[in-house]
Structure 1
Amino acid sequence: MTGRLLNDYYTVTRDLGSGGFSTVRLGTNKSTGAEVAVKTIQKARGSDNALIRNEITMMTYMIQHKAVMKTNHVINMVDVFDEPRAVHVVLEMCEGGELFDRIIAKGQYSEQCAATAIQQICCGLRGLHTVKILHRDMKPENLLYKTKEEDSPLLIVDFGLSTIQGTPDAMDGLFGSLDYIAPEALTRKAHCEATDMWAVGVIM
């Protein structure tokens, strides 16, 4: 990870989006031509750096336990480049946009479409919870469709606030987005699988 430069391996072009502490751009592998999403955070942003490092820790852990997780509904990390001024996380490409955007575009989901989406979200969470990962920021903005097709798989993304149960927590404070936070999180009690499931209920 350290010592290698992103531009030696990937051609990075247009912006795909930005979040509270990162920018996501389109990347192309110079050897294979495969398209990826490159999530970048500048190290100068101080405390935000803890979020990206926590995300790298979580996704590295997921790679090590992928066989146990048994789910296709969690985004894959392809590579990490830790450069002097920035950290770049290379992720599989998702072109279908956020669940949030599809909800807005549709206006309303049919019962069948809603059931399919929730089933896929729960499948992803089951994989995470099997290996003791709590997401802690489940919301439509953190759920991406793999493609633009109507029946595209839905993937859980953004693990900056996640934690592994039974290990020291790398993050302090109140976690998640206010509209989706479970009661125990608001009262600073210990998070558990039910904390994520509460957010799924709000999404539904």
Structure 2
Amino acid sequence: MASINSLEYLQEKYELGETLGTGAFSEVKVATERATGNKFAIKIVDRTKCKGKENMIETEVSILMQVRHENIVQLYEMYEIDSKIYLVMELVTGGELFDEIVGRGKYTEVDAAKIIHRILLAINYLHSLGIAHRDLKPENLLLSDKTNEAKIMISDFGLSKIFNDDEVMKTACGTPGYVAPEVLKRQGYGREIDLWSLGVITYILLCGYPPFYDQNNIELFKQIMSGKY
């Protein structure tokens, strides 16, 4: 019998199919569990390509292993084989909220409210576990499927941080247009920064364009810190 952390074992359990996407140090493939026919997504992380970022991957795995929420992409299993990590995850097929916004132009208030309500429930759940996401943006919000009833799902926990109430986070991180002013000021911040990012997302859903925008990041950060939208 093949060792549990061997490619042979993984391929006995799952049939790997088409590639859904590729990133800087990972790719995602569709996988079918041979015993049940159930479909999953397997994220294959190449350790050799992410020297110095190994702790980000470990953070993402340790967070996802403890998270169970219908609006957060679920991690089921992890295998470490040679220089790669295989993460067996829930398959979401509806694409990014970002692409949906581009396609629609903007959302009605009712539709936007439904989406934001679900994200808030998931964020509240994460915060109750002491987890700040720190990189909420429409590209990290996925739709469960292509139907009108699709669930919104939070993904990508690479920048997340597990904190305690006494801990003040100081690392500058996130995506420029969605980052909260206290992150830019580097005076320390808490889990509230996720709500700022969600405010920016809400604005984009309703208007179709961002509240803060400049090609030059220095000018963009000035706008954010002064709250001029």
Q: TM-score, structure 1 length as denominator? A: 0.88
Q: Which residue of 1 aligns with 2:73?
A: 75
Letter in 1 for 2:156: D
State which drifts further: 145-154 or 6-15: 6-15
Tell me by how many angstroms 1:173 deviates: 4.3
CA distance in 2, matches of 1:121, 1:2: 36
Q: Which residue of 1 aligns with 2:186?
A: 188
Aligned residue for 2:192, secondary structure, equals helix
Tell me by how many angstroms 1:96 deviates: 0.7
Letter in 1 for 2:37: G
Tell me by how many angstroms 1:153 deviates: 0.8
CA distance in 2, matches of 1:54, 1:87: 13
CA change 1:8–1:126 in 2 (3 A) is same
- Is the CA contact 1:41–1:49 (under 8 Å) kept in the aligned structure 2? no
Tell me by how many angstroms 1:4 deviates: 4.1
- Is the CA contact 2:19–2:28 (under 8 Å) kept in the aligned structure 1? yes
- Is the CA contact 1:21–1:48 (under 8 Å) kept in the aligned structure 2? no
Q: Which residue of 2 aligns with 1:51?
A: 56
CA distance in 1, matches of 2:170, 2:16: 33
**Deviation by residue 1:139-160 (Cα, 9 ceiling, x = unmatched):** 0011111111112110111111
Q: Which residue of 2 aligns with 1:202?
A: 200
Deviating above 6 A after TM superposition, structure 1's stretches of 4 or more consecutive aligned residues are none
CA RMSD after TM alignment? 2.3
Letter in 2 for 1:60: M
CA distance in 2, matches of 1:199, 1:121: 11
Tell me by how many angstroms 1:7 deviates: 2.1
> Which structure has more RCO (C-alpha within 8 Å, separation ≥ 6)?
1
**Deviation by residue 1:155-196 (Cα, 9 ceiling, x = unmatched):** 1111111111129x9x99421111111111112233322100
CA distance in 1, matches of 2:74, 2:152: 13
Tell me by how many angstroms 1:20 deviates: 3.7
Q: Which residue of 2 aligns with 1:18?
A: 22
State which drifts further: 129-138 or 171-180: 171-180
Q: What percentage of aligned pairs have identical amino acids?
A: 33
Q: Which residue of 1 aligns with 2:37?
A: 33
Letter in 2 for 1:59: L
CA distance in 2, matches of 1:20, 1:186: 25
Letter in 2 for 1:57: S
Q: Which residue of 1 aligns with 2:5?
A: 3
The equivalent position to 2:174 in structure 1, one of 173, 176, 190, is 176
Structure 1 regions of 5+ residues with no counterpart? none
Structure 2 regions of 5+ residues with no counterpart? 203-229
Describe how 1:122-161 pairs up with structure 2 within 5 A. Answer: 122-161=120-159
Q: TM-score, structure 2 length as denominator? A: 0.79
Q: Which residue of 2 aligns with 1:92?
A: 90
CA distance in 2, matches of 1:19, 1:38: 13
CA change 1:82–1:191 in 2 (3 A) is farther
- Is the CA contact 2:133–2:157 (under 8 Å) kept in the aligned structure 1? yes
Letter in 1 for 2:95: G
Letter in 2 for 1:132: G
